[in-house]
A and B are shown apart, each in its own frame.
Chain A
Amino acid sequence: MVRIREFENGVGTLFHRNLVRGSTHLYNGQEAVAVGAVAALRPTDPVTCTYRGHGVVLARGSDPVACYAEILGRSGGLCGGKGGSMHLTDVSRAHYGSHAIVGAHLPIAVGLGLGAQYRGTDEVSLTFFGDGTVNIGAFHEALNLAAVWSLPVVFVIENNLYGEYSPVAATTPITRLADRAAGYAMPGVQVDGNDVHAVRDIVATAAERARGGGGPTLIEALTYRQVGHSRSDPATYRPEGELDAWLERDPITLLERFIGDAAATASVRERVAAEITAALDAALALPEPDEAELLTDVIG
């Protein structure tokens, strides 16, 4: 979690130095969702996530240098510089992509589960997506198919209270998003998304059920995005005091309190900060992709 936080802070500085093209979406405040969920999986379980995906890829154990290099559009990036911040992918770690069309990866996550079910292996496909995503058609098609075929899929809503600048209540007529599960006759459960252990435990239950042929589960992790939606967003739409209240419940602070050894956790923070600074410097030293790469990996 500390690695993700430090990494994202590094992305923030790269952004202000104008070294990140297009946009970027930070994970600050949501770290416990990715870390808790991934901790409950096997390394071979396929994972997919959104454009707000740096945290998930790092939780999967991907090399921060390759992640930074991808965000910088350098050779040596996870995707050779062809994907960028919104598309970090590391298939060597069964991470099947960060997807930037809202909801589009849900049918694909269903397919990853189908692939496992078809060949008779016991991987579980887990996919992360936002609260705003429960309103797009792909969500419905994906959950329905996963349920009707009893596919091994775990759907994790990262409910950070906003879809871009719109609060959930402005776009969604129910307040408990996990209730959507009822329409697909699958379990729908809520969890404190800032409590890494709680996330791990609830995902472990869902994954075990899926692995045993019990079908999919919809998990709603309640969390908070401590930064704007993307780089250009100062998040002025937040009500007074909301951010402060959530900073009180910062997932890293909660975990450090749980561990209860200030010296040890401080030294972790220090070590990880140095590691991430070094990773960023290493990525900055990498060259741009060879121009011949433009034409590769299309068809043929």
Chain B
Amino acid sequence: MSAEKFTENALNYRQTIARSIHDAMQADPSVFFFGEDIGAAGGPFKTTAGLFDVFGPHRVRDTPISEQAIVGAAIGAAAMGQRPIAEIMFADFAAVAHDQIVNQLAKYRYMTGGQVRLPVTLRLSNGAGSGFAAQHSQPVENWYIGVPGLKVVAPGTVEDLYGLMQAAVRDDDPVLVFEHKTLFSVKGTVTPGAVVPIGSAAVVRSGGDVTIVAAQLMRHRAVEAAARLDDEGIHCTVIDPRTLVPFDDETVLASLRETSRLVVVGEGPADGSWGAALVARVARHGFELLDAAPRLVCSPFTPVPYAESLERAWLPSVDDIVAEVRSVVAY
């Protein structure tokens, strides 16, 4: 693959991963990238194809299968003033590096009284819907929302993926970037150098009756549900939080001032999810804005199943979202 690949701006989500890393590395020589099979082979999902050819083995490095060492190496390199991007192949494998992520990466700055800042970008391929079964499909982002010291982003579009990656690499704090495996073919257009600020939600569409909050795959399903509900005369605002930590509560509360009804859609079981946390905060800070109890559309409390029919049933569907919106309107 040649460097030319990185001049095209009309891209899909998969190509945007390599492009966003490419542009971040080109903008700043302290940025370098490592992970398992990401270099010469271009990544297990071909999300990083071409980077090795452009930047070579000093800046794009294949690691051993050592998740703890990958995260630790990123921490140390960041402490030495570099801006490493490290990849955890399937987000599920972050469990193997849990200590490095929650005890080291997240706490280093606080425990040292601010002596160490860690501009680490950790990229993880996440999410269900592709038939990878229980150990390669979990909503791993929810493992980290309760760990102070990490920023967590979950882009659902080409533009947001590109812009949040630029923001993550420039950020002086550790940022976990969750890339959703079902969105690789989503198309869009990148604006070179454009940054999407961490901590700002996007209002994807506006409607006065119900506020739907959804990220990544669920954002796309929410938009589809909202289009269908328009035909029934129910008009929805869809908000994509884009960043899960720190969460942009204000954009949600502002919308609720108009709609007074909230439906949060989250991939994965409700307990311990960002959606449940959002509902709890809205109950505390927005109770008087609401005309109905806030709703959470989510997955059953099971691991992600393999069979196509079961996995389909596990993921919240457009129908599920439509039904929940109707019910909150009828309340």
A-side residues, CB < 8 A to B, are: 46, 77-83, 87, 89-92, 96-97, 99, 101, 104-116, 118-119, 123, 125, 137-138, 141-142, 144-145, 148-149, 296-300
Contact = CB atoms under 8 A, between A and B. Distances in A.
Contacts of A111: 72-80, 84
Given A110-B69, A144-B69, A77 B113 contact: yes
Given A82-B111, A111-B75, 6 more contacts: A79-B113, A82-B112, A97-B108, A107-B71, A108-B72, A142-B68
A48 to B, nearest CB: 8
Contacts of B109: 297-298
Contacts of B78: 111, 115
Interface in B142-156: 148-151
- Among the interface residues A83, A91, A118, which one has the most CB atoms of the partner chain B within 10 A? A118
- Among the interface residues A78, A110, A113, which one has the most CB atoms of the partner chain B within 10 A? A110
Contact of B246 (A125, A149, A299): A299
B112 A141 contact: no
Given A81-B113, A97-B112, A298-B110, A114 B73 contact: yes
B64 A144 contact: yes
Contact of A142 (B63, B72, B99): B72
Task: Across the A-B interface, give the 3 residue pairs with the lowest CB-CB distance, nearest first.
Answer: A111-B76, A107-B72, A115-B80
B116 A97 contact: yes
B100 interface: yes
A273 to B, nearest CB: 29
Interface in B167-197: 173
A153 to B, nearest CB: 9
A104 B103 contact: yes
A297 B100 CA distance: 19
A297 B148 CA distance: 10
Contacts of A141: 64, 66-69, 72
Nearest to B77: A115
Contact of A145 (B69, B100, B114): B69
A82 B74 CA distance: 23
Contacts of B81: 115, 119
Contacts of A81: 113
Contact of A110 (B61, B72, B82, B103): B72
B111 A112 contact: no
Given A79-B113, A297-B113, A110 B246 contact: no
- Among the interface residues B32, B78, B79, B80, which one has the most CB atoms of the partner chain A within 10 A? B80
A187 B100 CA distance: 27
B72 A299 contact: no
B interface residue count range (under 10 / 10 to 19 / 20 to 34 / 35 or more): 35 or more
Interface in B245-294: 245-246
Interface of B: 30, 32, 58, 61, 63-64, 66-69, 71-82, 84, 99-100, 103-104, 108-116, 148-151, 173, 245-246
Nearest to A289: B113
Nearest to B97: A107
21 contacts: A79-B113, A79-B115, A89-B116, A91-B112, A91-B116, A96-B79, A101-B99, A101-B103, A104-B72, A105-B104, A107-B69, A108-B72, A110-B72, A111-B79, A115-B81, A119-B81, A138-B68, A299-B148, A299-B150, A299-B245, A300-B246
Contacts of A92: 115
A82 B82 CA distance: 25
Contacts of A297: 109-110, 113-114
A100 B78 CA distance: 20
B233 to A, nearest CB: 42
Contacts of A106: 72
B169 to A, nearest CB: 15
- Among the interface residues B69, B100, B109, which one has the most CB atoms of the partner chain A within 10 A? B69
Nearest to A99: B104
Nearest to A87: B111
Contact of A82 (B68, B110, B173): B110
A145 B66 contact: yes
Nearest to A110: B73
A83 B79 contact: no
Contacts of A104: 72, 99-100, 103-104
Contacts of B66: 141, 144-145
A128 to B, nearest CB: 15
A89 B72 contact: no
B96 to A, nearest CB: 9
Contacts of B150: 299
A275 to B, nearest CB: 24
A297 B111 CA distance: 9
Contacts of A112: 76-77, 79-80
A118 B79 contact: no
A133 B151 CA distance: 30
A143 B123 CA distance: 24
B248 to A, nearest CB: 13
Contact of B63 (A90, A101, A145, A298): A145
A80 B68 contact: no
A207 B245 CA distance: 41
B72 A138 contact: yes
B64 A148 contact: yes
A43 to B, nearest CB: 15
Contacts of A149: 61
B116 A115 contact: no
Contacts of B84: 111
B308 to A, nearest CB: 36
A53 B246 CA distance: 34
B68 A300 contact: no
Contacts of B32: 118
